[in-house]
Amino acid sequence: MAIVLTMFAMGLLLGFIGAGGSGFIIAILTVLFNIPIHTALGTSLTAMAFTSLSGAYSHFREGNTAVGVGLVVGIFGAIGSYIGSKIATVIPAGDLHWLTAGMLFLSSILLLVRLSLSKKAEETKTKEVKWNQPLTMIKAIILGIVAGILSGTFGIGATPFIQLGLLTMLGLTIRQSVGTTMLVILPIAIGGGTGYRQAGYLDWILLLEVLVGTMTGAYVGAKFTNLAPKSVLKAAMVLTPAVAALLLLIQ
C-alpha cells in the first residue's frame, strides 16, 4: 500500500508536468523501497507501455502523429530496447546507478534545449514527411536504435532524445514531435520490458502497484496543468529528471 500511495503522489507530479517519469519511478523504487535497480528498470520500462498507450491514441486522434515515421522509429526502437535490456543485465548494480543518474542529468539538459527550440518554433501546421525516402528511412532507423538502446539499458523513456531527433533529424514540427514520441515509446517499452521479463527482472505485483498509483495520480495531476504558470511547468519539467538523478546518486 505504501508503494501505491507513493506512486500516486508521484503520479500527481508527472500528470502536472506531462512527463512519463520512468527515471523518477526507478529512483523512488530503489531509494525508498530498496527494490534492486535491475527490477526497478524492468518494472518502470514495462509500465511505460501501459501509460503511453492512451497518450499515443489521444495524439493520433488530434492529428499530432506522423504515423509512418513513428512506426519506423518505434519498430527499430523496440529492437534497440531489447538489446539494451540485455546490456543492462551484465552491468553491475552499483555501476548502473551511476550510469542511469548520468542519463537523467543529460535528459534535463536536453529538455532545456527542447524548450528553447519550442520558443523558436511556434508553428501549428503539420508537415508531410516523406518517410519512405531512403535518407529519411536511414535517419529514422538510426534514431530508433539509439533511443531504444538508451531506454532499454537505463530504463528511461528517452523522451528528450526522441523528440530532439524527430525535430532535428527528421524535420517534424514541435507538435508532431510530441505526438509521434508517444507512439515511438510504446514499442520501445514493450521491447525493453520483454527483455527484462526474460531475464527475470519484472515483478508483476510491483508493476500493478506502480500502474495503479501513477495512472490514478497522473489523471488527477493533469487537471492542474492549466492552472500553473508556464515558468513553473518548465522548471518542473527540467528539475524532475535532475532530482531523480540525485536520488540515485545517494543510494
**Per-residue pLDDT band at 60 (split at 50, 70, 90):** confident
Q: Is the pLDDT of residue 124 over 50?
A: no
The pLDDT tens digits for 158-193 are: 888 888 888 888 888 877 887 888 889 889 989 999
* Burial call 157-189: b when 16+ CB within 10 Å, e when fewer: bbbbbbbbbbbeebbbbbbbbbbbbbbbbbbbb
The DSSP output letter for 126 is -
What pLDDT, on the 0 to 100 scale, is given for residue 214? Answer: 82
Q: How many domains, in total, are found in the chain? A: 1
What pLDDT, on the 0 to 100 scale, is given for residue 21? Answer: 66
Residues 39 and 16: their CA atoms lie apart, in Å, by 26
Task: Check residues 75 and 60 and name the one with the higher pLDDT.
Answer: 75
Task: Check residues 126 and 115 and name the one with the higher pLDDT.
Answer: 115
pTM here is 0.82
CA distances from 110 to 12, 157, 158, 164, 198 (A): 23, 13, 10, 8, 32
Residue 154 belongs to what domain range? Answer: 2-249
The DSSP output letter for 227 is G
What pLDDT, on the 0 to 100 scale, is given for residue 127? Answer: 55
Q: Is the pLDDT of residue 12 over 90?
A: no
What pLDDT, on the 0 to 100 scale, is given for residue 128? Answer: 59
CA distances from 135 to 52, 140, 170 (A): 28, 9, 10
The pLDDT tens digits for 206-230 are: 999 998 988 887 777 766 756 667 6
What pLDDT, on the 0 to 100 scale, is given for residue 136? Answer: 87
pLDDT, average across residues 236-241: 77
